[in-house]
Amino acid sequence: MSFSKDEVCSFQLDQQFKNLNFRDEFIIPKVNGEEAVYFCGNSLGLQSKKSKVYINEALDKWENQAVEGHFTEPDPWMYYHKQFANTSAKLIGALTEEVVIMNTLTVNLHLLLVSFYRPTKKRFKILMEGGAFPSDQYAIESQINFHAYRGEDKLFNPNEAIIEIFPENNEENLKTDAIIECINKNKDELALVMMGGVNYYTGQFYDLEKITHAAHQVGAIAGFDLAHAAGNIPLKLHNWQVDFAVWCTYKYLNSGPGGPAGAFIHNKYANATLPRFAGWWGHDEKERFKMQKGFKPMYGAESWQVSNAPIFSMVNLKASLEIFEKAGIENLRKKSIALTQYLEYLIDQINIEKNKQIIKIITPHNAEERGCQLSLVIYGYGKKLFNRISENGVICDWREPDVIRVAPVPLYNTFADVYKFYTILKSCL
C-alpha cells in the first residue's frame, strides 16, 4: 500500500475502507470543544451509542419485573451471559463451549491458575515475558507463594519459580526463537508458560501458536493474558491448542470501565476433573435449583463460573459485540494494519524532515507482529511533549519511563484521525 504526506491521502484511504467505518456508532470525547483524536482504545474503548439504550432497558426491566427479570423475555438474566459466547468465540478462534464471559480479568486469571498451575517439587517454574503488566506479575507471584508450601513443608523456593525473559542486545522486542530456547532450557522444571498475547508496553504480538507448541513439547501448560489482543487481532486459540486464556473487555471490546472479562478453556478439558474454585453458576444448570450438596460442573468453560452475570456491565458489551458481529474481526484487521502502516509512514516523514531520527517506534515494524498500537520514544522531549499534544486534542497515553502509546482503533478511528495526529505532533515538536 502506497502513501503520501498530503492530507488528500487520508481522505482516499477513508474512502477505501468506508464499509468499515463504525465511528458514528460511538461517542467521541471532546477537547477544547472539538472531537478529540482518541488513540487510547488500548486502555479504555469508547462508549457505544447503544449502551444508554440497553442500560435503560435493563433498568426498566428491573423496575417493572424485579426478580422475575431472571426468567422473562427478552434477555432473561439467568442466561444473559450465554449470548456473548458465539461472538466472543469468533473473536478468539474458539468453540462456543470453550468461552465464558464472567468476573474481571485478574479474577479469571486466578481461577484458571488454580486449575492449570499444579506445581510439584520438580516441575514448578512459570515463564513470563519480562516486564509483564503488573496485575499479571502480582497474580503469578501470589499463586507461587500460595503453592510453595504444603503445610509446614516447603515444596519449592518461590524465588526460583518465575523465569522472566527479556529482549536481547538492547532490543525492544522478544524473538520467538529466544522464547522457545528458554522453554527448552527449563524443560524439566517448567510447569507453565504464562504470557501476554500482545505486550502492553511495546505492542508486540507474540507467536502464540509456536509458543504453545513448544510448551507442550516439554510437558508444560500454555496460558495467555489476551487483554491487548482480544478484539484487536484475529486469534485461533482452539486450533493452536492453547490450554487457557483470559482477557478484559473494556479495551478493544468497549464494555466500559471495569467491564466483565472473558475466559477460554480448551475443550479437551471440558469434562476433565480439574481442581477449581466452584460456585453456584458453574453447577449443572438442570440441577442448579435443587440446592443440593455436591458440585456437578457444567460442560465446558461455563463450569468455571462462580457467580451470576453482572447485567448492568454486560449490556455495554452487548452493544459493542453487535458492532463486531457486523464488522468481522478479519475485516477490521485489514484496516488496522493499514492504519498503523500509514501512521508509521507519517512518523518517518517527520524524521526525514528533521534530518535525524527524533522519533523511534519500538513496536515491531512487521505489521503481522503487532496490533493497532505503535509505541513511540521521542528523544529529548519526554512527558512535556505528551502534555502538549494532549492539550491540542490528542488522547493517548504515557508509560514510564519514556513511551507514548498511540492506538488507532479500526472500529472508530479514521485515517483522517491519523493525519490530524501527525499535524499536531509536528506542530508540538
- Can you say whether the dihedral through the CA atoms of 390, 420, 362, 357 is positive or negative? negative
User: Which residues fall within 8 angstroms of residue 391, CB to CB, at 6 or more apart?
Assistant: 31
Distance CA 98, CA 89 (A): 8
Domain 7-42+329-428, CATH number (from 3.40.50.720, 2.60.40.180, 3.40.630.40, 3.90.1150.10): 3.90.1150.10
> 100-123, pLDDT tens digit by residue?
999 999 999 999 999 999 999 999
**Higher pLDDT, residue 382 or 235:** 235
> 405-416, pLDDT tens digit by residue?
999 999 999 999
Q: What percent of the chain has pLDDT over 90?
A: 93
When the pLDDT of each residue in the chain is averaged and rounded to a whole number, the result is: 96
54, three cell numbers? 440497553
Is domain 56-326 given the CATH code 3.40.50.2000 in the classification? Answer: no
193, three cell numbers? 508458560
Q: Give residue 169's pLDDT.
A: 86
Q: How confident is the model at residue 295 (pLDDT cuts 50, 70, 90)?
A: very high
Residue 100 sits at φ, ψ, to 5 deg, of -145, 140
Kindly give the interhelix angle for 311-327 and 85-92, rounded to the nearest 10 degrees: 50
Residue 392 has pLDDT above 90, yes or no: yes
User: Which residues fall within 8 angstroms of residue 9, CB to CB, at 6 or more apart?
Assistant: 3, 342, 415, 419
Residue 252 has pLDDT above 80, yes or no: yes
- Domain map of the chain by residue range? 7-42+329-428, 56-326
| Residue labelled with grid coordinates 478439558 | 269
413-426: average pLDDT: 98
Print the SS3 string covering the chain: CCCCCCHHHHHHHHHHCHHHCCHHHECCCEECCEECEECECCCCCCCECHHHHHHHHHHHHHHHHHHHHHCCCCCCHHHHHHHHHHHHHHHHCCCHHHEEEECCHHHHHHHHHHHHCCCCCCCCEEEEECCCCHHHHHHHHHHHHHHCEECCEECCCHHHCEEEECCCCCCCCCCHHHHHHHHHHCCCCEEEEEEECECCCCCEECCHHHHHHHHHHCCCEEEEECCCCCCCCCCCCCCCCCCEEEEECCCCCCCCCCCCEEEEECHHHCCCCCCCCCCHHHECCCCHHHCCCCCCECCHHHHHCCCCCCHHHHHHHHHHHHHHHHHCHHHHHHHHHHHHHHHHHHHHHHHHHHCCCCEEECCCCCHHHECCCEEEEECCCCHHHHHHHHHCCEECEEECCCEEEEECCCCCCCHHHHHHHHHHHHHHC
The answer to whether 7-42+329-428 and 56-326 have equal CATH topology is no
Please answer whether residues 124 and 189 qualify as being in contact, where contact means their C-beta atoms are separated by less than 8 angstroms: yes
